[in-house]
Structure 1
Amino acid sequence: MAKRSLQASAQGIKKAKQAFRRKNWTQEYLAGEVGLETRHPIWKFFTGKPVDRQVFQEICFVLELNPEEIAEQPTIEDESIPFETIPENTSDIDVLVQKARLAHQEKIQAQCGTLHLLDIARPIELDDLYVEVNVFEEITSQRWLEIADLQKLDSNDFDRFSLGNINQQWITGLEAVLKYSKLMVLGKTGSGRTTFLQSIAIHCNQGKFQPDCLPIFISLKHFAENTSEDYQINLSKYLYQEFSECGIYEADLSTIFSHGKAIILLDGLDELTDEDSEKVIREIRNFNEKYYKNIIIITCRIAGQQYKFKGFTVVEIADFSKSQIAAFADKWFVAVAKNSLWEGKAKASEFMQKLELPENQQILELATTPILLNLTCLVFQFLGDFPTLRSELYKQALELLLVRWDEARGIKRDEVYRNLSLIHKIKLLCRVATTTFTQGDYFFPETKIQQLIADYLRQLPHPPTDLEALQLDSKAVLKAIEAQHGLLLEQARGIYSFSHLTFQEYLTAREIVASANSQALQEFVTHVGKKRWREVFLLAAGMMQPADDLLLLMKQQIDILGISNQKLQNFLVWLGEKSSTVNGSYYPASVRAFYFTLALPPDHPLAHNQNLALSLDRRLAGKLAVDLALDLALIHALAVSLKITGDIFCQRLSAIALALDLQHLLQDRPALEQSLQQLHAELPSPQESRITLKAWWQANGETWTGKLRNLIVSDRQIGHDWQFDESELQILQQYWNANKLLLDCLNNAGNVTFTTIRSIEKNLFLVNS
């Protein structure tokens, strides 16, 4: 078993001090380079005292040393505490426990010391990757909540990252073990239940947690399989036999159990077959009643919570937080990807920076589940980024939960819905996702989802003819999907949701693509202006082969939105006419996007937002053509004037004067230059008193601003007061979002003809009525 601390040898200290002197650093500076809050570990390092393994390695890397050359080589005595070293005054039971711990130490390390990750060929040391989990003391599915309580936010602002942790308070997993001696730990598929038990076993084995107890880890699946031929399954007998192989016999083990000196870790209650389940549960109850003083922890998938054990507290593993995701990535890119410490940290930092970008929020949401976080890290390691075609990542994640996770663990479940093939399971999930998402439901009653399942089952060959049987089957299918795959979860009593909103969106897009006839697409594109449909459109565009029909129908629907309101239509007519007068070689659509935001009220969120215009033509990021630069400056001057009040006029007078100083842009426009100079001349002198300036603006400010607006409207055809009301601004926002979405779909689509590309790019922000 690898030690969790290292110390420098005498020769290593000498080499380290030489390297330290070459750096000409202080110990405080070295501590900062390593990321330590104090220099105490640095002092311990140079004096040959034990230092945490990771800190030891980082000190060596900063000093450009090989840790293996610096560290004292471990001896057999370093790896364990010999039985003979137990103090004489230790009680008989403590002596017995230490004897059993030493005898069982290697097996616990072999059982729990490594992790086997999907698609990773070699085992990974648990300590090199494990991140402590958090747990909820209130079980999600047992909460008495209404759908309105769960979904308090408007759908456009829904916090997808916290979907799995709504209104929940958590404690760490170890805190829960210390707080409750009898625990049932629930968690959805791939949430880290087994790894949590392994960590408890290893930390106990290392003396870091309950060092006076004997850790025992049991896979209930293996327990059932190994005792399947016995007439009666007996947990005590099974443990006696296991320990007899390492020289600890029944009487000693029974004594340890009777004194409550064992930590019994029972993993995977949900992995038992129906035939074994009842027997094993009965045996766990018998063991707990007989040896009630011991710590006993059982893990099970969330849907297995119907199993009840007297005296047990039920907790639920929480989704990873952002800090936990970052900690996992920090370790993954070193331990799994086999990067050096600093390369791994740099890669992890890049991973997190990209993961937290707004366009990657769907992937961030998936990464809250450890099994999917591992998949995400793996993809990033190979590609150096997240895939452009997100649907492929989601497809892999879906396959992981539906098939590969159970296959990798050798679990063959007694499927209630075994007559459903994999493709039918996916089609069923697509139907549920599309129906609920179209209706704007992130959370839905159990009765509704059962009805959707029943409707699907009716379409299959040989469906149940009896209505009651159909209802029972639909409920069984729902529970099977929840228990086996964790794709649908009970978020409160009788209220379900998809485990990740990303899956609901992906399955909806998949259903749309699968049934992409003219009528279905026509209905789909009616959602083009709705923000919550954005990801579905992007996924559908990426999956369709080809995507021309979808993109052209989206453009038609955007045009319909553009003429849905007379004022908006007038605005778009002006936009086209104004943009056509600009002299320059920019793409016309980029110029239209430029003037679209320039014409909005100054306090509008999109005002002066030129990101889309820049994405259409990067030349706008350089020196602007005179027409665009002049109009931008004039709109700025008008915006400054509109925001001035009498109280702040004395402070903003210089800002107005500066905004009107546009001689460098007016060389070929003498009339406009003269008019602006006249307006400037009307302003009072900045030498006037504050009271005088305030009075002047209160008397003349509105008139003066009106003259400025009229001048730039008549001369430059900009600065119109469109007087949009709130509903019209919302339509305007929808129109902008829809055009941006169309452009993003065009860039995301994998198969589009050149004719369609040119047509859309040419007519973006133009209404073809």
Structure 2
Amino acid sequence: MASRSFQAHQQAIRKVKQALARDTLQQKILEKLTGLSPQIISRFLTGKPIDREALESIYSALGLALEENDGLIENGEPDLDRELSVLIEQVRQHCCRKIKRRHSQVTLLNQQQVEVSQLCVDLCTVERLSRETCISPANLLQDFKPQQDFERFGLGEPQQRLSGLQAIARSPKSIVIGKPGSGKSTFLKHLAIACCNGQLHSDYIPILLELKELTPLVTRRNALLKEYIHLELGLIDPLQTENILNSGKVLLLFDGLDEMPETARRNVQYQIRNFSQQYYKNSIVLTCRTQATEYTFPNFEYVEVVNLSSAQVEQFAKNWFCALTEKPHHGNILAKQFIGKLRFRENQQIAKLAVTPILLSFACWVFQTFKYLPSCHFDFYEQSIKLLLDPKDIDSSLDPQLFHELLNYIATKSFEREELFFEEKTLQKDITDYLNRRYPSDLNAQDKPEYKAILEILEEQYGLLLERAPGIYSFAHLTLHEYFLTKAILDRFSPQFSDRSFSSLMQKSWQDIFFLAAERMNNPDDLLLQIKQKTDTIIATNQKLQIFMAWVTQKASLVQVSYKQAAVRAFYFSLAVDRILEPKLARSLDFSHAVDRALKSSLHDRSLACHLDENLNRVFKYNSIRKLDYEFLLDLILDCLLVTFAYDLGLFLTFVDNLHIQLEHELKQSLKRFKSQLPDAEGDKSTYQKWWKSNSEIWTQNLRLTIIAYRNIGYDWQFKTQEKELLKQYYDANKLLVECLKRISRVSGDVRQEIESTLLLPIAEIEKRRKNNYQKVS
């Protein structure tokens, strides 16, 4: 039978208020003295129903004697609503005690603890993805640009920014998404404590559930969530739980949907969806790394944890360093020093990373341990991983070096496949292949780590690999992927530099990572000399290409220009190769257009020559043709003539006169004779076309031979397809070498000189020079 409802007599309320005023006590102090919630105290002071034990607690705390007229008086007939309110308040107190005991503090990376109420984040609403996209991660990858949007994989476009409590208070059902390590789990704990303290849904019962705890229990029973909630409420009668859920006075906080195995996750998603529809009055907050889920959640608003603001970064640092010291003043000094270092211009790379709690934690930890902040990504991750994978903190059965090597291997394999995101089956194959290579085949099965155990450590314990959508993984951050890739390259390219490694370097995507790795070598000289040797061997055995290189060397040695000799060779190499690799250039409208295109077009790759000589670089950068050395200018426009031929011969001669270019007298007369042989193209076009059809082949051949005779350019090399491919590889390899010299500061002067002086020489000339140098040394 339902119990009766009671309320305090007005005399009791008046005596309590007088006692509070007498002792200058506030309501909050009375709450602490009695252990009662703010709601019960407020209910008593306003004449609303409470139970006898609460009244006795209030009197005892204030030192009052309970008199006859101070007791509770009956409030009429049984009132089920008031009875439920009392029950909700009792259960709320029970749940809040558990919440505060379990979640009032969070453990930082350095094992120090800090009050969760001090850790706050902001949220923003995000554009909701379509159902079709949510249920098909493959669609996400189809039009996704990994390099540009790596951190926002599976996330909609951000909208309005709000404080965390604001965002949740205005939406009864929310899915909190965000980048790995952005603080989603800590935020749920913050919400739970805020609810207990009356800052959010002050009359709600908070329940915080880490969904991965349900994994062993998940079955097809749709009542699993309800059963778990019933246990959390601490009630015996399931009907009481049903009444509380129907009242809509529960704040349900579900953490880590994406951390569950796929089968369990699908089941729990289905249950949450049904539960939210059946008990729709309650407030539900769910965390997940991405919107890409197999089920959508009707009437849920997506909100994203955003990067920490400058003020939040400072507050986090104060929390971190104050937790280290007994005196807050000392912690504030350390925090101020850390923030000062973070704001140095040279530390901007790290400052841009340290806007999520996890990476800011690493930055604080590194500063705490090493007393400085690294200025680049590589050093930052080097120190962070050293702290994270400390041998004393890792399962003793596993060698810490295993994790370093495995992550290097995964980074390399995924990069070779040009993948920043990889399917689980691919990741499983990479990990299994690595374990098979590392451990002998005859090793007992129980002594060999398993794929699942390794992945669990890397994903759940350390957060280095993450599931970004169902069955799709990546490194936690793009810069972390680059770090392990750089480490792998350092091992891969030195000291043994294989042909396979050299082939990888020819891929543009490898080169920035390679330069970063090479810059970290204590002595990159041997590596660059090996690259130079392998570059020369690309065309060393092809006789025709060696003849071509001999011509490049001869031509470069004969012209009188002010540029570096290696740059001169590069200029004539590219002048010839452009025509070899792109023989079917569309004929220009006129000769001036042809020259203009020769200066500006991307088909004319003079980057190698320009890298080798700054003066030459300025000429082509600003298209200042008049500042080009005379012989380069003459050969450049003659090369343009070989493209336009008869139609522009007259325009060529006019162009030369306008620029006051002094052609050799015999060459100029020869060109005029060729011009006189042509019919008037502006006159009888039929006659001109007939003449061109009958005579053009021999006429253009003789013109080419004349230019060859006077300027030694314009050869028709007639290379085969394979030879063209080799030339392209050879030229790209030389560009890589020069880029190395430009970007790697630790290369010695002697090696720089050796590489530059033998650049783009035939193999016979290189060997001759090396032999002479050897004899001089001997």
TM norm structure 1 = 0.54
Residue matched to 2:406: 428
Alpha-carbon distance in structure 2 between the residues aligned to 1:366 and 1:398: 15
The reply on whether 1:586 has 2:563 as its aligned counterpart is yes
Amino acid at match of 1:766: L
Please report how far the alpha carbon of residue 611 of structure 1 lies from its aligned counterpart in structure 2 after TM superposition. Answer: 3.0
Please tell me the residue identity of whatever aligns with 2:636.
L
Letter in 2 for 1:713: I
Report the 3-state secondary structure (helix = DSSP H, G, I; strand = E; otherwise coil) of the residue aligned with 1:665: coil
1:190–1:723 CA distance, 2 compared to 1 (3 A): farther
Match of 1:614 in 2: 610
Counterpart of 2:280 in structure 1 is 292
Structure 1 counterpart of 2:405, which letter? K
Alpha-carbon distance in 2 for matches of 1:367, 1:676 = 68
Give the residue type in structure 2 aligned to 1:712: I
Matched, 1:699 2:690: no
- Partner AA of 2:411 in structure 1: A
Question: Are the aligned partners of 2:126 and 2:156 in contact in 1 as well (CA < 8 Å)?
Answer: no
Change in 2 beyond 3 A, CA 1:702/1:484: farther
Structure 1: stretches of 5+ with no match in the other structure: 1-91, 93-110, 202-210, 225-231, 241-253, 337-349, 356-362, 377-386, 405-411
Inter-partner Cα distance in structure 2 for 1:331 and 1:654: 71
Of 524, 529, 534, the residue aligned with 2:501 is 524
549 and 129 in structure 1: CA distance in 2 versus 1, 3 angstrom threshold:
farther
- Unaligned 5+ segments in structure 2 are 1-80, 82-102, 111-115, 162-166, 193-199, 214-225, 235-241, 317-344, 364-373, 586-597, 620-626, 765-778
2:709 maps to which residue?
Answer: 714
Once the two structures are superposed, residues 151-194 of structure 1 have per-residue CA deviations (whole angstroms, 9 ceiling, x without a partner) of 999xxxx964356778x795668899999975655555246757
SS of equivalent to 2:409:
helix
Equivalences for 1:67-146 in 2 at 5 Å?
133=126, 136=129, 143=136
Preserved CA contact (<8 Å) 2:253 2:285: yes
Q: Would the aligned equivalents of 1:270 and 1:300 in 2 still touch at CA under 8 Å?
A: yes
SS at 1:751 equivalent: coil
Alignment match of 1:189 (pick from 174, 180, 193) = 180
Residue 33 of structure 1: aligned partner: none
CA contact (8 A) 1:506 1:539 kept: no
Kindly indicate whether the alpha-carbon contact (under 8 Å) linking 2:571 and 2:606 is maintained by their aligned counterparts in 1: yes
3-state SS of paired residue (1:559): helix
> 1:429 Cα shift?
0.6
Alignment of 1:522-601 (within 5 A): 524-563=501-540, 565-599=542-576, 600-601=578-579
Q: Tell me the CA shift for residue 473 of structure 1.
A: 2.7
The answer to whether the 8 A contact 1:391-1:543 is kept is no
Query: How far, CA to CA, are the matches of 2:543 and 2:355 in structure 1?
Result: 46
**1:716–1:462 CA distance, 2 compared to 1 (3 A):** closer
The aligned amino acid for 1:617 is D
> What secondary structure, in the 3-state scheme, does the structure 1 residue paired with 2:285 have?
strand
Is 2:737 aligned against 1:742? Answer: yes
> Is contact 1:138-1:315 (8 Å) kept?
no
SS in 2 for 1:296: strand
Deviations 1:337-363 (A, max 9, x none): xxxxxxxxxxxxx99xx99xxxxxxx9
Question: C-alpha separation between the residues in 1 aligned to 2:475 and 2:301?
Answer: 21
Asked if the contact 2:568–2:609 (Cα under 8 Å) also holds between the matched residues in 1, the reply is yes
CA contact (8 A) 1:182 1:312 kept: no
Query: What SS class does the counterpart of residue 760 from structure 1 fall into?
Result: helix
In structure 2, what residue type is equivalent to 1:513? L
Does the 8 Å CA contact 2:134/2:291 hold for their aligned counterparts? no
Instruction: Compute the TM-score of the two structures, normalised by the length of structure 2.
Output: 0.54
Separation in 1, partners of 2:705, 2:315:
67
**Maintained 8 Å contact 1:217/1:267:** no
Give the secondary-structure state (helix, strand or coil) at the position aligned to 1:664.
coil
Residue in 2 that maps onto 1:665 = 661
Q: Which residue number corresponds to residue 78 of structure 1? A: none
CA contact (8 A) 1:434 1:504 kept: no
SS of residue paired to 1:433: helix
CA contact (8 A) 1:712 1:718 kept: yes
**Equivalent pair of 2:422/2:472 in contact (CA under 8 Å):** yes
Residue 138 (structure 1) shift? 6.7
Please list, as runs of the form range in 1=range in 2, the aligned pairs for 1:163-242 lying within 5 A after superposition.
170=156, 185=176, 188-190=179-181, 193=184
Q: CA 1:632 to 1:268, structure 2 compared with 1: closer, same or farther past 3 Å?
A: same
Is the CA contact (8 Å cut-off) linking 2:563 and 2:613 kept in structure 1? yes
Q: What CA RMSD, in Å, does the superposition of the two structures yield over aligned residues? A: 7.0
Matching residue's letter, 1:624 = L
1:233 & 1:367 partners in 2: Cα distance?
41
Higher relative contact order (Cα pairs below 8 Å, separated by 6+ residues):
1
Give the CA deviation at 1:271: 9.5
> Cα deviation per residue 1:450-503 (whole Å; 9 max; x = unaligned)?
455356557989999543x56773222123323455544557775655466765
- Which residue is 2:634 aligned to? 630
Report the alpha carbon displacement of residue 136 of structure 1 after superposing the two structures with TM. 4.9
Q: Determine helix, strand or coil for the equivalent of 2:761.
A: coil
Contact 1:189 1:485 in 2 (8 A): no
CA pair 586-393 structure 1, distance change in 2 beyond 3 A: farther
Cα shift readout 1:242-262 (whole Å, capped 9, x = no counterpart): xxxxxxxxxxxx999856598
Q: 1:515 to 1:618 in 2, by over 3 A?
A: closer
Question: Which of 667, 674, 695 in structure 2 is aligned with 1:679?
Answer: 674
* Whole-Å separation in 1 of the counterparts to 2:572 and 2:314: 49
Q: Residues 714 and 129 (structure 1 numbering): CA distance in 2 closer, same or farther, change over 3 Å?
A: farther
What is the SS of the residue equivalent to 1:731? helix
Partners of 2:109 and 2:758 in 1: CA distance: 49
Q: Provide the rounded CA distance (Å) in 1 between the counterparts of 2:313 and 2:657.
A: 55
Q: How does 1:306-455 map to 2 (within 5 A)?
A: 391-392=378-379, 395=382, 420=398, 423-435=401-413, 437=415, 446=424, 449-450=427-428, 452-454=430-432
**Counterpart AA for 1:161:** Q
1:474 to 2:451 alignment: yes
The number of equivalent residue pairs is 575
Query: Are the structure 2 counterparts of residues 150 and 257 from structure 1 closer, same or farther at C-alpha, using a change threshold of 3 Å?
Result: closer
Distance 2:133 2:757 in 1: 51
Secondary structure, aligned partner of 1:298: strand
* Alpha-carbon distance, 1:551 to partner: 0.4
Give the Cα–Cα distance (whole angstroms) in 2 for the partners of residues 759 and 218 of structure 1.
71
User: What's 1:161 paired with?
Assistant: 148
TM-superposed CA distance for 1:563, in Å, is 2.5
Equivalent-residue separation in structure 2 for 1:548 and 1:199 (angstroms): 54
Structure 1: distance between partners of 2:573 and 2:473? 42
- Alignment partner of 1:425: what SS? helix
Structure showing greater radius of gyration is 2
Counterpart CA distance in 2 for 1:680 and 1:333 is: 76
Residue matched to 2:750: 755
Q: For residue 734 of structure 1, give the secondary structure of its aligned residue in structure 2.
A: helix
